[in-house]
Chain A
Amino acid sequence: NAGVTQTPKFQVLKTGQSMTLQCAQDMNHEYMSWYRQDPGMGLRLIHYSVGAGITDQGEVPNGYNVSRSTTEDFPLRLLSAAPSQTSVYFCASSYSRFGDYGYTFGSGTRLTVV
């Protein structure tokens, strides 16, 4: 099924641990992004990529790294997990960085940092 696949769906980390959230899309979308969703705050942009090899920061990038070595994959790395990073993380993609296209979202990763 075409779409955005996120793994894992659930994760519990201890403070200070690192991990990578995986995101893959099979629609040949140029644009990919990571959001976090916290209660009452909507979605906030962490990092985004307008193509392979190109990434940039969003609204809340601190504590996260990304890379885009292929069109399909856009992993999000937590360098040293903190309780403030407890959240639901969504990966999204869009056909083009230009023009009027909606985003396709993954089903999310629910992360708890203890």
Chain B
Amino acid sequence: SQQGEEDPQALSIQEGENATMNCSYKTSINNLQWYRQNSGRGLVHLILIRSNEREKHSGRLRVTLDTSKKSSSLLITASRAADTASYFCATDARDYKLSFGAGTTVTVRA
């Protein structure tokens, strides 16, 4: 069964705008990871946040984690056409089984 669920399922924004997507999960985790998948390609690791961290930045990406609410958010600032992709959250419960959600499809309009 899937541990994480992303919201919204799809998001359409104008170039230059920010994109925010959320992930909720069910059980205790060791860390939470975000991945990007371009159409027809494999997944690319974006950022990892540990359970004892609340916020992390990487370039135009900002991830937050609220373990009390079992939720995380990914913010992409100043979006570009190249950010058009599906984004997945994945949870690591230290059981060797990284569990993925169904993803958020982001379309950035020029």
Residues of A in contact with B (beta carbons under 8 Å apart): 4, 31, 33, 35, 40-45, 48, 50, 56, 58-59, 90, 92, 97, 100-108
Q: Are A50 and B103 in touch, CB under 8 angstroms?
A: no
- Among B41, B45, B99, point to the contact of A104 (Cβ < 8 A): B45
Query: What count of chain B residues pass the 8 Å CB interface test?
Result: 24
CB distance from A2 to the nearest CB of B (A): 14
Question: What CA separation (Å) do A92 and B98 show in the bound complex?
Answer: 10
Does A100 contact B2, Cβ atoms closer than 8 Å? Answer: no
Given contacts A40-B102, A102-B33, contact A59 B42 (CB under 8 A): no
B residues 61-109 in Cβ contact with A at 8 Å: 88, 90, 92, 96-103
CB–CB A42/B101 < 8 A? yes
Compute how far the CA of A100 lies from the CA of B33 in the bound complex, rounded to whole angstroms. Answer: 10
Q: Report the Cα distance A48→B97, complex, angstroms.
A: 8
